[in-house]
Amino acid sequence: MYIKVGSITNSHGIRGAVKVYPHTFDVERFNEYEKLFIGDEKIKVHIKEVSFYKNLVILTFEEFDDINQILKFKDQGLFILEEERKDLDEDIFYLDEIINSKVVDLENNYLGEVVEIINNAANDIYVIKKDGKNYYIPAVKEFIKNVDVDNKIISINPIKGMFDEN
């Protein structure tokens, strides 16, 4: 199984480098990867060089040395093999472990599904969708009480006004 670690946003220069929007809070992980897989076809590439610019990662691959070789990869995902995934500390999760999780309150009432995670300076924010409407929940212990990644269920303790009141 493949795990998405970033998205190629554009080329960088004329020598085949790409700009990558990372799907990780720890961009230094890109220094640890030896190979990645690009796009739906999972084209295997070997990392030649890693650098960082603002919130992006700049990658060059051994297989490409010209802008014309990498333009076709714009807007495509970058993946690693699941077995190459690094173990995380307790209470830290990968995005794919949270996305599409069912969200319930402490009485097990369905509140929606996590459709996006917004990285914020203070803490992540889970975007929960229910009936076409988005709700924004800070990913802090005050609200997030339990994350069951195996069953994709997140239990939260919402305060009044977080969700539509009936």
Q: What is the DSSP letter of 84?
A: G
Architecture, CATH, for domain 2-84: Beta Barrel (2.40)
The topology (CATH level 3) of 95-156 is: SH3 type barrels. (2.30.30)
Q: What does the pLDDT look like over 24-82, one tens digit per residue?
A: 777 888 998 899 999 999 999 999 999 998 889 999 999 999 999 999 999 999 999 98
- The reported pTM is 0.66
Which residues make beta-bridge pairs with 125?
A: 118, 138
Instruction: Report domain extents, the chain.
Output: 2-84, 95-156
For residue 155, give the H/E element and its range.
strand 153-156
